[in-house]
A and B are shown apart, each in its own frame.
Chain A
Amino acid sequence: MAHDHALHRPLERLAGASPIAALDPRTRIVAAVVWAFAVVSFENLAVLTAAVATALLTARLAALPARATATKVLMMDGFVVALLVLLPFTTPGTPVATIGPFTASAEGLHLALAIALKANAIVLMLLALVGTLEPPALGHALARLRVPASLVHLLLFTVRYVAVLTDETARLRTAMRARAFAPATNRHTLRTYGYLVGMLLVRAAERAERVLDAMKCRGFDGSWPMLDRPRLGRDDAVAAAVGAVVLVLLITAETALVRTA
């Protein structure tokens, strides 16, 4: 089954106890967001390398499993790889290499490297801080950070109903196969898939209505009460202080290096 595949196993189940796990989810989300904004603004390659190192260290602290994490990071890299390969050849500037009729520029190479480092520093940090959260904990923390309730509900419902939708799709597909459906390149196949998607949409909409009815029956009036009451503690203060120091160091280095360059 797909669920048992290492790729699909959520990190929060693989990651063990760690100093990161002891932190309040809110601290982790805010830290990840601040980190992303800071890293995006860096330009110096040395500073960006230091940022990747910091992210790696945090991932280590979060006890992220090496292989599963690497797979996820590589998947993200797969998305940007085309851009990175093309950038040196499309950015005008000082030529450094020629492949056939194409010339790579130093500026383009710098840009591509910077983007690759930024992306990895941010994704690693996200995986370490936010990826290790159970989806419900993430939802609740977002709600406490005053993210609009509808967005939080959307996240929580997605977590709950993705499996139901997958099962429904599987059932419909099995039913199609049971009547000897084999996909081919023809109108019949297209129409059948159209019906499948349409039927899924209709069923999802109807189920949404029934779920809302069931929630109303249990007194739901638009606000989602929560069971857990996490508190910001000493650990969070320490983590915030350490994070702030690291960030200030990186920003200082960036300002100094970019100005001298």
Chain B
Amino acid sequence: MSVLLELADVRFAYPGRPPVLDGLDLRVQSGDRVAITGPNGAGKSTLLRLLVGLARPQAGRVLAFGSARTSEADFREVRRRVGLVFQDPDDQLFCPTVLEDVAFGPLNLGHPPAAARAIAERTLERLGLTGFAERITHKLSGGEKRLVSLATVLAMEPDVLLLDEPSNFLDEATVGRLVGILGALDQALVVVSHDRHFRRRVTTDERGLEAGRLVPYVPRCTYAEPRLRDAAE
């Protein structure tokens, strides 16, 4: 199994704040399906941003596809092979129409317009979004936006897919659809999620992010018993 992405002894702090990530190690191999969970503000999104160079660590190393990555040019290459799906689809979808948005990545990869259009159409079809091509992105529903933003990244056929809270704000049917889509992918996955059920269905390896490091996941859900519903009966 080849190592695709690696963070080695990474430290990251936002200006004027104590470090969120400190001595963190992560290794993503092909076929891995890693879930990362942790308290709000623990640095989960930051970790994803470090992997694609949207943030740079103050210490430690970022490795991707066998070489150390430090400069913007290094990461430009990484981003062609690592897809990041943002938490808010409105951040991701910026073209007027769905088709243009899905074709944006393939065009950036250097595909000629006709090929990019074909790739976009194929990707939409694969995700069961046929008929969405000419829709206006800002008029989509929340669930549709989420699926289309996944399509915009999958159209680039990345080797690794990073997902930031993909099941947030989705209804059960759409979560089910998302689980189906992600389950059928052969890419390595790194999923940041608070949704325990979702993590179980999509990933094989759960980690917690605590005090700046990744640790084996231990459920912390300690709801007071008896539950309200039982009490009411």
Contacts of B185 in A (CB 8 A): none
Of the stretches A181-189, A215-223, A239-247, A251-259, the one at the interface is A215-223
Is A225 touching B104 in the complex (CB atoms < 8 A)?
Answer: yes
A213 interface hit (Cβ, 8 Å): yes
- Judge whether A210 and B83 touch: CB under 8 Å: no
B52 pairs with A217, CB closer than 8 A: yes
Q: Are A210 and B91 in contact (CB under 8 A)?
A: yes
Set of chain B residues within 8 Å of A218, measured between Cβ atoms: 79, 104-105, 108, 152-153, 156
What's the nearest-Cβ distance from chain A to residue B223, in Å?
Answer: 28
For the complex, what is the distance from the CA of A157 to the CA of B95, rounded to whole Å? Answer: 8
Judged by a CB distance under 8 angstroms, whether A207 is at the interface is yes
Chain B: minimal CB distance from A63 (Å): 21
| Stretch of B59-67, B109-117, B123-131, B201-209 that contacts chain A | B109-117
Residues in B neighbouring A16, C-beta threshold 8 A: none
B174 interface residue (CB < 8 Å to A): no
With A218-B152, A220-B108 known as contacts, the answer to whether A226 contacts B113 (CB < 8 A) is: yes
Instruction: Give the residues in chain A near B139, CB-CB below 8 Å.
Output: 163
Chain B binding surface SS class: helix
Residue contact B108 to A214, C-beta cutoff 8 Å: no
Greatest chain B CB density within 10 A among A210, A218, A225 is at: A218
B91 touches A136 (CB 8 A): no
Taking a contact as CB atoms under 8 Å apart, the answer to whether A160 and B137 are in contact is yes
Asked whether A219 lies within 8 Å of B79 as measured between CB atoms, the reply is: yes
In the assembled complex, A95 has its CB within 8 A of some CB on chain B: no
Q: How large, as a class, is the contact surface on chain B?
A: 35 or more
Q: Which residue of B lies closest to A220 (CB)?
A: B108
> Shortest beta-carbon distance, B70 to chain A, in Å?
16
Specify the chain A residue showing the minimal Cβ separation from B117: A227
Question: Is A199 at the interface (CB under 8 A from chain B)?
Answer: no
The reply to whether A219 and B97 form a contact with Cβ atoms under 8 Å apart is: no
Residue of B79, B80, B90 ringed by the most chain A CB atoms within 10 A: B90
Q: CB-CB < 8 A to B50: which residues of A?
A: none
- Give Cα A160 to B79, complex, Å: 24
B109: chain A residues at CB < 8 Å are 219
Contact flag A213-B54 (CB < 8 Å), given A164-B138, A218-B104, A227-B103: yes
Contact across chains for A214 and B79 when beta carbons are under 8 A apart:
no
The residues in A between 127 and 183 inclusive whose CB is less than 8 angstroms from any CB of B are 134-136, 156-157, 159-161, 163-164
Is A228 part of the contact surface with B, judged by Cβ < 8 Å? yes
CB distance from B183 to the nearest CB of A (A): 23
B99 sits at the interface (CB 8 A)? yes
The answer to the question of B27 belonging to the interface, with a C-beta cut-off of 8 Å to chain A, is no
B22 within 8 A of A: no
Across-interface contacts of A227 in B (CB, < 8 A): 99-100, 103, 107, 113, 116-117
B86 in the interface, Cβ–Cβ < 8 Å?
A: yes
Instruction: Quote the shortest CB–CB distance from B132 to chain A (angstroms).
Output: 15
Contact of A219 among B95, B100, B156 (CB under 8 A): B156
Alpha-carbon distance between A221 and B80 when the two chains are bound, in angstroms: 12
Would you give the shortest CB distance from B86 to chain A, in whole angstroms? 5
Which residues of A are found within 8 Å of B91, using beta-carbon distances?
207, 210-211, 213-214
- Chain B residues, CB < 8 A from A210: 86, 88, 91
Task: State the Cβ distance, A245 to closest chain B Cβ, in Å.
Answer: 35
A160 to B107, Cβ gap below 8 A? no
Per-residue interface assignment for chain B, residues 9 to 44, with 1 indicating a CB less than 8 Å from any chain A CB and 0 otherwise: 000000000000000000000000000000000000
In angstroms, Cα B88 to Cα A211, docked, is 10
- Does any Cβ of B come within 8 Å of A229's Cβ? yes
Most buried by A among B52, B76, B79, B104: B104
Q: Is B96 an interface position by the 8 A CB rule?
A: yes
| Residues of A contacting B137 in the complex (Cβ-Cβ under 8 angstroms) | 160
A136-B97, A220-B108 known; A214 vs B113 contact (CB < 8 Å): no
The chain A residue with its CB closest to the CB of B120 is: A227
| A218-B153, A226-B113, A227-B117 as given contacts; A160 in contact with B88, CB under 8 Å | no
| Inter-chain pairs besides A135-B96, A213-B49, A218-B108, 12 sampled, C-beta below 8 Å | A160-B137, A210-B86, A210-B91, A213-B86, A215-B104, A216-B76, A217-B54, A217-B153, A218-B104, A218-B105, A225-B108, A225-B113
Closest 3 CB pairs of A and B: A219-B108, A225-B107, A218-B105
B residues near A (Cβ < 8 Å) are 49, 52, 54, 76, 79-80, 82-84, 86, 88, 90-92, 94-97, 99-100, 103-105, 107-109, 113, 116-117, 137-139, 152-153, 156
Q: List 10 A-B contacts (CB under 8 A).
A: A135-B96, A159-B96, A160-B96, A210-B88, A215-B104, A217-B84, A219-B79, A221-B76, A221-B108, A227-B117
